[in-house]
Amino acid sequence: MCKLIAELVLFTKILISTIFLFSFISKLFTFKQFQNVFFSFGFNNNFSFIAAIFILALEILVSSLIIFKRTSIFGEVILFFLILSFFISALYSQIKRLQISCNCFGELSDEKLGKSTYPRIIFLFILLSFIFLCKIEIGITTYSFEKKFMLWFSSINIMVFYYLSKNYKKLITIRRILKT
C-alpha cells in the first residue's frame, strides 16, 4: 500500500511538472500574447514584460524542482504561490468583468480568466494538497527508467486529452470543412 501511494505521489509530481512544462513552452511561443494578459490588467508595458518573465521563470522552476526529492519542497512552495496568483487574477478579472484571455497554455486552449479558471485552480490545489499531505519524500531518481518513462508518457497523454477535449468543437468544425 505504501509503495502504491509513493508511486501516486511521484505520478502527481510528474503530472504537475508536465503541466507547467507545457504551460511554459506554450507561453514562450506566444510570449507577446502572454505579456498582453498583464497589460489587460492595466499594467504598463515594462511591468507586463517583467511580470511575464517572472511567471515563466516560476513555471519552469516548479516543473524542474518538484520532481526531485531534495528540491520538491521549493517547487511546492512556488506552486502554492502560483495557484494563489492564478486565483487572485481570476477573481479580479471576474469582479471587474474583464474579458481577458487566460493564455494558460498559449494558443493551445482559448479560455478566458474568470469562472472557467476555477476548476483548473482547484485541480492544481488538490494535486498540491495530495503531495503535501502524504509527506512522502520521493523523487524521480528513485525509480527505474521504464517506470519514469511510463509516468511521463501517462502525464503527457492526460495533457493531450485535455487539449483535445477543450478543442473538440474546433476539431469537429475543421473536420466538416475538410469533408466539403
Helices 31-40, 2-29: axis angle to 10 degrees equals 90
Q: What are phi and psi of 29, to 5 degrees?
A: -75, -20
**In Å, how far are 22, 109, 141 from 102, measured between CA atoms?**
15, 9, 34
**Nearest one of 42, 32, 166, 19 to 92, comparing CA atoms:** 42
Q: What is the pLDDT of residue 180?
A: 67
Q: What is the pLDDT of residue 176?
A: 78
Q: What is the pLDDT of residue 117?
A: 84
User: Based on the structure, what is the number of domains in the chain?
Assistant: 1
> Would you say residue 171 has pLDDT above 80?
no
The range of the structural domain enclosing residue 160 comes to 2-179
> Tell me: the pLDDT tens digits for 79-132?
999 999 999 988 988 888 877 776 666 665 667 777 878 888 999 999 999 999
What are the cell numbers at 154? 501517462
Q: What is the pLDDT of residue 77?
A: 96
> Would you say residue 172 has pLDDT above 90?
no
Strands (E), 104-165: none
This prediction has a pTM of 0.84
Q: What is the pLDDT of residue 85?
A: 93
Q: Choose the weakest-confidence range: 25-29, 120-124, 173-177.
A: 173-177
* DSSP assignment letter at 43: -
* DSSP assignment letter at 57: H
35 contacts 52 by C-beta, under 8 angstroms = yes
Mean pLDDT, the chain, integer = 86
